[in-house]
Amino acid sequence: MQRVKVAVVEDHTLFAESLVLALGLEGYDVRRVSLGEPGRDISTLLPSILRSTPRVVLLDLDLGRHGNGARLVEPLTRSGTSVLVVTGNTDRARWGEVLAHGAKNVLPKSAPLNDIAANIRKVSQGLPVIDGEERADLLRFWQAGQAAVRDARAKLERLTRRESEVLGHFLEGRQVKEIAQLSVVSEATVRTQVKSILSKLEVSSQIAAVGLARRAHWAPPQA
């Protein structure tokens, strides 16, 4: 029988090479995909992955300086490739996100090799690899996270341009005194703006305001 082709997309060399060696001994036709130079758009990895026509791709969510591996799930799935995410990330909302975009299952990097191999075998045979209830729970985590992001973005849209600039300074780690000096205004003026920001974002501290902005992947207006 033809061996199942498996591609490993992973930025940690030791873990990737261990997978390649172990799965090779299990009888799989497995290779690691080179990630290329850091900083390249992660979508440029797609041709490299598909070149060997893998049946299954083992994909890490966080590819370090190479970017967010989750962005590859949907295009790989559309190509007819089965994606199994193997990750050290424990954010269940992100697990739900990749399942929503077509991944067959998400496994922690601490999972035994036998579990990973069993998932590959079942996926290659067209069998389900995740319990329906568990999948539904993970999707709910993702949907709740999406709702929280939408809520945060709606609050951020309440800010005036000047308030957005002040929040942008906080994202850069600046304090009220420094912001006042850079903006050529009094500290009292900045504190008034901060009070308005906290009220509109419905948070009680500058740290909470920064956290909300980061969760929403918000960027301040350009000068």
Residue type, 101: H
Q: How far apart are CA 146 and CA 140, in angstroms?
A: 10
The domain ranges of the chain are 5-141, 157-215
Q: Report the candidate in 73, 109, 113 with the shortest Cα–Cα distance to residue 90.
A: 109
Give the largest Cα separation in the chain, rounded.
76
Q: How far apart are CA 103 and CA 3, in angstroms?
A: 22
59: CB partners within 8 A, 6+ apart: 9, 10, 69, 72, 73, 76, 83, 84, 85, 86, 103
Tokens of 66: 């190479």
Q: Residue 1: what pLDDT? A: 46
CATH number of 5-141: 3.40.50.2300
Q: How far apart are CA 44 and CA 53, in angstroms?
A: 16
| pLDDT tens sequence across 27-56 | 999 999 988 776 667 778 899 899 989 999
Q: What is this structure's pTM?
A: 0.77
Q: Residue 59: what pLDDT? A: 97
Q: Do domains 5-141 and 157-215 have the same CATH topology?
A: no
Assigned CATH class of 157-215: mainly alpha
Q: Which residues of the chain have pLDDT under 70?
A: 1-2, 38-40, 223
Dihedral sign for Cα atoms in the order 26, 2, 33, 107: negative
Q: How far apart are CA 97 and CA 146, in angstroms?
A: 9
Q: Residue 39: what pLDDT? A: 64
